[in-house]
Amino acid sequence: MDMKENSLLVSPSILASDFSDPVSALEKISQSGADYVHLDVMDGMFVPNITFGPKYIGDLRKRTDLVFDTHLMIMEPERYIRQFAEAGSDIITVHQEATRHLHRCLAMIKEEGKEAGVAINPATPVEEIVPVLDMVDYVLVMSVDPGFGGQKFIRYSSRKIGQLDSIRRREGYQYLINVDGGINENTVHIVAKAGVDMVVTGSAFFSSPDPAAFVENLLETAGGAL
């Protein structure tokens, strides 16, 4: 993999969409030119909000070929990895803060033949995940405290993106750096400059009257920041 590809990957989160009409949300995402859909799974314990589980993801799987980027905001995610894999997730991301067995959890995802991601909350330092960086495909830097869409981007997260970029260059690791929370046309340049490869976008994407133009604008702004 080229360490720093020019083009940013965009993963719209359906959290900000109308849950009574997911098919329209998926169509909006494919028409925007994005290749991924970010699926925010919340359990009301790890985060103070509840969304959906594997059945919902399995049902969505029948409706689209988009890459399923499943973000598990649930305690002890090892209990459900197989179910989320079988539901059709392509990438499964677990939080460092949610499990006592992070290495085992990531190994389980790989054993299911899926891409593995590790996420860290805004207050978790990069040092906490250094021991697993050689085995992950994605690192998800939370730039808001997880639980809700529409929150303000936390600027310190760009320092963590920079750190992760330096570590992978130094060690020759292959992971992509993803960022989640408060990403829009005004914040994307900050994370692009820091070395991010992929951005999640929820409320900014779904509130945009023209999602294709929105994605194009994100890509241009990110490209201009390099």
Binding-residue total with ligand DX5 (CB under 6 A):
22
Residue 41 to residues 70, 138, 142: CA-CA distances in angstroms?
7, 17, 15
For the question of residue 210 being annotated catalytic, the response is no
For the question of residue 69 being annotated catalytic, the response is no
Helix (H) or strand (E) holding 67: strand 67-73
The single residue among 34, 36, 68, 71 that binds Zn ion, judged by CB under 5 A, is 71
- Residues 173-202: x where in contact with ligand DX5 by CB under 6 A, - otherwise, as a string: -------xxxx----------------xxx
Q: Could you tell me which residues come within 8 angstroms of residue 67 by beta carbon, excluding any fewer than 6 positions away? A: 35, 36, 37, 90, 91
Catalytic residue among 69, 137, 165, 180: 180
Q: Could you tell me which residues come within 8 angstroms of residue 11 by beta carbon, excluding any fewer than 6 positions away? A: 34, 36, 37, 38, 69, 178, 198, 199, 200, 201
Catalytic residue among 2, 40, 134, 137: 40
- Between 175 and 205, name the residue whose CB sits nearer to ligand DX5: 205
219 belongs to the binding site for ligand DX5 (CB under 6 A): no
Judged by CB under 6 A, the chain residues 33 through 52 that form the site for ligand DX5 are 38, 40
151 belongs to the binding site for ligand DX5 (CB under 6 A): yes
Q: Any idea which residues carry the catalytic annotation?
A: 40, 180
